[in-house]
Amino acid sequence: MTEATNSGFAMTSAEKIALANRAAELLVERIEELPQQNAWEGDFREVLEELLLKDPPEEGQPAREVLEMAARDILPVAMRLDHPRCFGFVPSEPTWPGIVADFMAAGFNVNACTWLVASGPSQLELVVVDWFRRWIGYPESAGGLFTSGGSAASVDAFVAAREAAGHPDRMTVYMSDQSHSAFKRAAMIIGVRLECIRLIPTDAEFCMDMSELARIVAEDRAAGFNPIAVAANAGTVGTGSIDPLAELADYCEAENVWLHVDAAYGGFAVVTERGKQLMAGIERADSIGLDAHKWLFQPYEAGCLLVKDAATLERPFAVRPDILQDTVWGKNHPNITDRGLQLSRGFKALKVWMSIQTFGMAAFREAVMNGIELAEQAEEYIAASPVLECLNSAKLGIVCCRVNPGDRSLDEKAIEDVNRTVLAHLFWDDLAFISSTMLHGKFALRLCVINHSTTWADVRATLEAIERFGKEAIPAG
Ligand SMILES: Cc1ncc(COP(=O)(O)O)c(C=O)c1O
């Protein structure tokens, strides 16, 4: 054991270990108690300001007390995205080795920027990105990097697309009306004008309408615009829908337009046979975004961008400032900073690697399948319910429904009012958390069922609560 040094930040070995042990105890307790708690917790600004709006103290206080304060007053006041009944937005339930990996990466103070600064971490990032490459079915020329998430991956992908198109004026990009808002933002960041972002309508299954895409691109070309990218979905955030990827690949090849596939939500379904079939054609995209902090059970942040040809990322991103001249080790030793917008970078690959080393791929496959099957089971339940209407065919763990008893002719406004009431009741009076969306103009209650500890009992209890609150909310008459 070393003694404390004179630094103002010094702690003894015993103090450091005690603090980390206490943190681990608090976390394990939290995770074990989750199922008995509400999936949502939060508070209003005035309450939290009263508690937290304080100047930084001049003198420190015992580390354990600070830790307990964080664990009591701040950290739990948030949605419990890892709760077995958290079905809102995109929940996420990290594995314990993944959580510990983030602690280790911070403790080893890894900056995964260049080979010189982080050889081991860089090699491991190449290894994990290569796992993803093989799951997708990309060629060996493919490569990529970890990003903060799908939004950052979309910016990097559009930069590569713009570069591949020769950085033209009057750029247009194409995505469906179901695409994630991250793509609109990414397009604007890379200099596409808002009015040049084309939202292609979707069919009844919420998939991009290919004939509309072709028509709009042709019109744009005739008007002197330069289409640089189509962003397709491999799992829309609303319904888990998958655009016609193989057809899109044919089309984009013929039109010489970059095809990006947003697989941030659904992409890791490719670890299963079913997911692989659903995503056939994804391997023909020029780039693909994936989020390991969604369906690969990792703590935030863990996005990834893969490109079919790694050089298409390095062309726009690699810059060689004098201050980094020592870091150039040659082609065999890539500096991951040359593939994206960050120089200093955390070591995100470690959590994926540690989780998969610990549990093995079979456990991941089973956990992903659990989400797919539970959503399908929910769809069957909804179809058999006298008060519920299904609004999508369950796909990639997402099912949407609304209260709409078939024997009553409620107009759209009345149905929406009923479902808003149901949502509010669930929010305040039930353990579960779900969120809503609009699907082709219809107000939808949406369940995203991807947490690995979620069981059918959790899903069924939530659907029963929706039915119960729905019956109460339906106007008499
Ligand atoms: C389909 C899809 N694309 C992109 C994103 C944005 O990803 P991130 O939140 O990791 O930036 C999300 C987030 O939910 C998503 O579901």
Average pLDDT across the chain, whole number: 96
**d(Cα 138, Cα 59) in Å, to the nearest integer?**
55
Residue entry with tokens 């119960």: 468
400 part of a folded domain: yes
For residue 337, give every residue at least 6 positions away whose Cβ sits within 8 Å of its Cβ, in sequence order, or none: 113, 114, 317, 343, 345
In which domain, by residue range, is 337 found? 111-359
pLDDT greater than 70 at residue 458: yes
Cβ(90) – ligand 1 distance below 6 Å: yes
Asked whether the beta carbons of 192 and 173 are under 8 A apart, the reply is: yes
Would you state the pLDDT for residue 131? 98
Number of domains in the chain: 2
| CA 267–ligand 1 middle distance (angstroms) | 11
Confidence of residue 394 (pLDDT cuts 50, 70, 90): very high
| CA 223–ligand 1 middle distance (angstroms) | 32
Cβ(459) – ligand 1 distance below 6 Å: no
CATH number at residue 155: 3.40.640.10
Pocket test of ligand 1: the residue of 151, 175, 177, 446 to mutate, having most ligand atoms within 8 Å of its CB, is 151
21 part of a folded domain: no
Pick the last residue of a domain from 311, 332, 359. 359
**d(Cα 297, Cα 372) in Å, to the nearest integer?**
15
Asked whether the beta carbons of 136 and 306 are under 8 A apart, the reply is: yes
Would you state the pLDDT for residue 6? 72
Task: For residue range 210-243, list pLDDT tens digits in order.
Answer: 999 999 999 999 999 999 999 999 999 999 999 9
Same domain, 191 and 267: yes
Same domain, 53 and 115: no
Nearest Cα to Cα of residue 241 among 189, 206, 268: 206
Same domain, 193 and 274: yes
Residue 330: exposed, middle, or buried by beta-carbon count in 10 A (0-12, 13-18, 19+)?
exposed
| CA 90–ligand 1 middle distance (angstroms) | 8
Cβ(265) – ligand 1 distance below 6 Å: yes
- Write the DSSP string, 318-384: ----GGGGGG---TTS--GGGGSS-SS----HHHHHHHHHHH-HHHHHHHHHHHHHHHHHHHHHHHH
**d(Cα 207, Cα 203) in Å, to the nearest integer?**
5
100 part of a folded domain: no
Confidence of residue 304 (pLDDT cuts 50, 70, 90): very high
- Distances from the Cα of 290 to the Cα of 55, 84, 283, angstroms: 40, 23, 13
Pick the last residue of a domain from 359, 393, 420. 359
Would you state the pLDDT for residue 398? 98
Pocket test of ligand 1: the residue of 89, 236, 237, 293 to mutate, having most ligand atoms within 8 Å of its CB, is 237
pLDDT greater than 70 at residue 66: yes
Would you state the pLDDT for residue 121? 98
1 part of a folded domain: no
Cβ(228) – ligand 1 distance below 6 Å: no
Q: What is the DSSP-derived secondary structure letter of residue 127?
A: H
Would you state the pLDDT for residue 3? 54
Same domain, 389 and 473: yes
Would you state the pLDDT for residue 2? 53
Would you state the pLDDT for residue 5? 62
Pick the last residue of a domain from 324, 339, 359. 359
Same domain, 260 and 206: yes
Confidence of residue 276 (pLDDT cuts 50, 70, 90): very high
Same domain, 201 and 302: yes
Nearest Cα to Cα of residue 290 among 305, 280, 307, 272: 305
Number of Cβ within a 10 Å radius of residue 356:
20
Task: For residue range 167-178, list pLDDT tens digits in order.
Answer: 999 999 999 999
Cβ(183) – ligand 1 distance below 6 Å: no
Asked whether the beta carbons of 443 and 420 are under 8 A apart, the reply is: yes
Same domain, 199 and 277: yes
pLDDT greater than 80 at residue 116: yes
Number of Cβ within a 10 Å radius of residue 363:
15
Asked whether the beta carbons of 257 and 213 are under 8 A apart, the reply is: no
> Could you tell me if residue 100 is left (phi over 0), alpha (psi between -120 and 50 degrees) or otherwise beta?
alpha
Please give the radius of gyration of the chain, using alpha carbons only, rounded to the nearest integer. Answer: 24
Same domain, 192 and 297: yes
Would you state the pLDDT for residue 323? 93
Of the chain, the percentage scoring pLDDT greater than 70 comes to 99
264 part of a folded domain: yes
Confidence of residue 409 (pLDDT cuts 50, 70, 90): confident
pTM for the full model? 0.96
Same domain, 197 and 345: yes
458 part of a folded domain: yes
Average pLDDT over residues 278-301: 98
19 part of a folded domain: no
Would you state the pLDDT for residue 161? 98
CATH number at residue 419: 3.90.1150.170
Average pLDDT over residues 250-276: 98
Same domain, 36 and 147: no
Would you state the pLDDT for residue 45? 97
Same domain, 368 and 341: no
Cβ(291) – ligand 1 distance below 6 Å: yes
Average pLDDT over residues 181-185: 97
Same domain, 369 and 464: yes
